[in-house]
Amino acid sequence: MADNRPIGVLDSGVGGLTGVRVLETLGPEEDIVFFGDSKRAPYGDKTSDEIIECTMQDVAYLREHNIKALLIACNTITAYAILPLQKKYPDMPVVGTIIPTTEAAVRTTRNGCIGIIATQATVNSQAYDAELKKKLPEAQVISTACPKLVPLIESGHIGPEDDELYRVAEEYLVPLREKNVDTLIMGCTHYPIIRDVIQKVMGEHVGLIDSGGASAKSLLESLDQKELRAEKSRKGVTKIFCSANRENFLTIANAVLNRDIGADLKQI
Ligand code: DGL
């Protein structure tokens, strides 16, 4: 049985589109409804109660679009709200970033030294550390909160030649490079947008793990298992909603999705 209802995708801002671009590549027949809560971003500086409250409102909005499944393309929301969401919505698959991303990291590392960069809230939750220790008990895990990165990316500092971005990236990443991590989890879905800068600072030998991409793959696998994929013959449509700064959001979203999404983007 095919199910042509859309997949809902949630992030606090534009970063979750790094999950959408993988969904579009691997599941071109799927309709997607994305909501980026740019008005209330960053979520990474909020308390656990605030993150859960905002998330429940965001998901109620996505559910109005008759979604068949939910991709939490946000590590901060995954760290605090994935279990309450899975409990509240047993009728649909709800997939987050942390489990699929740690699986990819464990497959990638050779020396067992894994770095994590993420928002302050994600680092505080220790959700990644716990999941990595479960899968690879001997791993040496080093986490760094990068609170300046989401606001920089949301305000359009995404170019590989952006001096301010490069300076901030060095501030966070050089200590990780010096500790010899061979695998770095980009534990915030905004970070793959600045992948080139991160790779340049870390060096080509470091494997970068894209949490948006890993979670998108995992969601499609879950739809396959539950026979919830759309008909292969159709061409999916992506609708994108943000809650503030439409023009700025559009510029970054066009760069992430590599096309002009102007007609598909609405501010609510
Ligand atoms: N993309 C979100 C994440 O993966 C950013 C969170 C924020 O708004 O601080 O954590």
Which among 122, 109, 99 has a CA at the least distance from the CA of 187? 122
- Region 138-155: mean pLDDT is 95
At residue 225, the pLDDT reads 97
Distance 177 CA to ligand 1 centre (A): 23
**What are the residues whose beta carbons fall under 8 Å from the beta carbon of 87, sequence distance 6 or more?**
none
Which CATH number characterizes residue 170's domain?
3.40.50.1860
Distance 106 CA to ligand 1 centre (A): 22
- Region 46-68: mean pLDDT is 97
Which among 138, 152, 239 has a CA at the least distance from the CA of 194? 152
- Region 208-218: mean pLDDT is 98
Angstrom distance (rounded) from CA 146 to CA 148 = 6
Coil vs helix vs strand at 216: helix
Taking CA atoms, 66 is separated from 69, 181, 183, in Å, by 9, 43, 38
Give counts: helices (H), strands (E), the chain.
Answer: 11, 10
Of 195, 211, 227, which residue sits at a domain end?
211
Q: For 117-130, write each residue's pLDDT tens digit.
A: 999 999 999 999 99
Would residue 2 count as lying in a domain? no
Same domain as 207, residue 139 = yes
Would residue 14 count as lying in a domain? yes
Count of domains for the chain? 2
Q: Is the pLDDT of residue 1 over 90?
A: no
At residue 197, the pLDDT reads 97
Among 47, 75, 191, say which to mutate for ligand 1: greatest number of ligand atoms within 8 Å of CB. Answer: 75
Q: Which atom of ligand 1 is nearest to the CA of 74?
A: 4
Distance 261 CA to ligand 1 centre (A): 22
Q: Cβ(13)–Cβ(41) under 8 Å?
A: yes
Residues annotated as part of the active site:
74, 188
Same domain as 178, residue 158 = yes
For atom 8 of ligand 1, the residue with the nearest CA is 42
Q: Which atom of ligand 1 is nearest to the CA of 41?
A: 8
For atom 2 of ligand 1, the residue with the nearest CA is 74
Rg (alpha carbons) of the chain, rounded to whole number: 17
